[in-house]
Amino acid sequence: MNLSRYLLPVAALAMMTGYGFAQTPVQMTPDTKPAMTAPAPAAPAKKATTTSGQRTAKSKACSDQADQKGLHGKARKQFRDECKKA
């Protein structure tokens, strides 16, 4: 218990001053080549579907229909999924 009382502030001070993380810089010479990095991954292909405005309108219409039928929970979710596919 007493050791942690003294060790914790010393460790915190060492981390704040960077004492524990000191590194020597790498000297670049004409013979030294920089490390190669991996190429960035290709962007995933987007599906050609309806625009977000059309999706939003259809989703809203399906929600309104589910409200009129008084559906809740799993039945509402199933109805909306089928409605949006149609």
At 52-74, the pLDDT tens digits run 777 788 999 999 999 999 999 99
pTM for the complete prediction?
0.40
At 27-57, the pLDDT tens digits run 667 666 666 666 777 777 666 555 677 778 8
Which among 62, 64, 59 has a CA at the least distance from the CA of 49? 59
Higher pLDDT, 74 or 86: 74
